[in-house]
């Protein structure tokens, strides 16, 4: 196996990755990435995952007819990420992948509270760490969680798993002539107003110099190629 260029990475997995139709949890949806994670781990990389909750609820998009506060809806969204984390943990365990879930808020007997030292300790033991519960604060998303946790654990990069091949100059689903970038600087991405992550989390990644790679989960072996520094997806870095 080729040499790894990245030793510790944080994968941002949307809640939709757990679903075949965008809603709920279908175990089959996640098998591809689980296989890729297993292969990647055997090459010695340390992997943390921030899991989203959009397959269950996104506080900012839910239509609660002004009867449920946004902060309540966001809390519900964060609980959704906890549900997903529990599911993903069991799926990884079933695949023989040692893992631990660390949550922004603990639930006695169910979820351990996150803390950077504990996370690094688990990573050094070769376990996958799944971060649940978002940042613990409303009005942001798990993109912010990904950047915060990546900085906390000294990750070499954030790997943003999507269903497109990378970052394009315009929406490839709407424009046949959309051109994909192999790499971009943070500032060029901002100047072109390309949506890689939520703006706040993107700027924080820039300020803490955490590179971001956007790649397609459906490209088999993509994760390993990214880790080996082969051409895959789009890299955003200084
Ligand atoms: N959320 C939040 N604070 C956080 C992370 C998540 O309030 O730090 C809420 C927010 O409502 C968000 C939802 O949880 O929409 C689910 O997360 P996200 O939308 O990031 O999930 P994804 O799109 O990645 O599946």
Q: Mind listing the pLDDT tens digit for each residue in 31-64?
A: 999 999 999 999 999 999 999 999 999 999 988 8
Q: Which of 146, 165, 141 is nearest to 211 (CA)?
A: 146
What's the N-to-C CA distance of the chain in angstroms?
28
- Judge whether 138 is annotated as a binding position: yes
Three-class SS of the chain: CCCCCCCEEEEEECHHHHCCCCCCCCHHHHHHHHHHHHHHHHCCCEEEEEECCCCCCCCCCCCCCCCCCHHHHHHHHHHHHHHHHHHHHHHHHHCCCCEEEEECCCECCCEEECCHHHHHHHHHCCCEEEEECCCCCCCCCHHHHHHHHHHHCCCCEEEEEECCCCEECCCCCCCCCCCEECEECHHHHHHCCCCCCCHHHHHHHHHCCCCEEEEECCCCCHHHHHHCCCCCCEEECC
- From atom 16 of ligand 1, which residue's Cα is the shortest distance away? 53
pTM (whole model) above 0.75: yes
Q: Which of 181, 182, 186, 191 is nearest to 204 (CA)?
A: 186
State residue 4's pLDDT score.
74
CB 85 within 8 A of CB 103: yes
Ligand 1 nearest atom to the CA of residue 145, by list position: 8
State residue 85's pLDDT score.
98
Ligand 1 pocket test, pick from 64, 82, 142 with the greatest ligand atom count within 8 Å of Cβ, gives 142
> How far is Cα 3 from Cα 164, in angstroms, rounded to an integer?
26
133 lines ligand 1 (CB under 6 A): no
Q: Mind listing the pLDDT tens digit for each residue in 206-228?
A: 999 999 999 998 898 899 999 99
- Judge whether 135 is annotated as a binding position: yes
140 lines ligand 1 (CB under 6 A): yes
Ligand 1 pocket test, pick from 23, 56, 78 with the greatest ligand atom count within 8 Å of Cβ, gives 78
* Centre of ligand 1 from the C-alpha of residue 141, in Å: 4
211 lines ligand 1 (CB under 6 A): no
Q: Mind listing the pLDDT tens digit for each residue in 132-164?
A: 999 999 999 999 999 999 999 999 999 999 989
Ligand 1 pocket test, pick from 19, 75, 141 with the greatest ligand atom count within 8 Å of Cβ, gives 141
């Amino acid at each position: 196996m080729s040499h790894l260029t990245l030793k510790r990475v944080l994968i941002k997995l949307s809640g939709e990755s757990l679903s075949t139709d965008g809603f709920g949890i279908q175990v089959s949806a996640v098998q591809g990435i689980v296989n890729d994670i297993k292969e990647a781990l055997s090459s010695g990389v340390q992997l943390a995952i921030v899991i989203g909750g959009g397959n269950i609820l996104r506080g900012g998009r839910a239509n609660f007819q002004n009867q449920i506060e946004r902060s309540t809806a966001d809390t519900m969204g964060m609980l959704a990420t906890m549900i997903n984390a529990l599911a993903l943990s069991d799926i990884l365990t079933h695949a023989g992948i040692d893992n631990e879930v660390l949550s922004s808020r603990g639930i006695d007997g169910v979820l351990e509270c996150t803390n950077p030292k504990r996370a690094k300790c688990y990573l050094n033991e070769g376990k996958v760490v799944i971060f649940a519960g978002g940042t613990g604060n409303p009005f942001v998303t798990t993109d912010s969680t990904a950047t915060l946790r990546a900085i906390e654990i000294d990750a070499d990069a954030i790997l943003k798993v999507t269903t497109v091949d990378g970052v394009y100059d315009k929406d490839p689903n709407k424009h046949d002539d959309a051109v994909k970038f192999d790499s971009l600087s943070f500032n060029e991405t901002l100047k072109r107003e390309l949506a890689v992550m939520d703006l706040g989390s993107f700027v924080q990644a820039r300020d803490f110099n955490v590179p971001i790679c956007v790649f397609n989960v459906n490209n088999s072996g993509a994760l390993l190629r990214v880790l080996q520094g082969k051409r895959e997806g789009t890299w955003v870095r200084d």
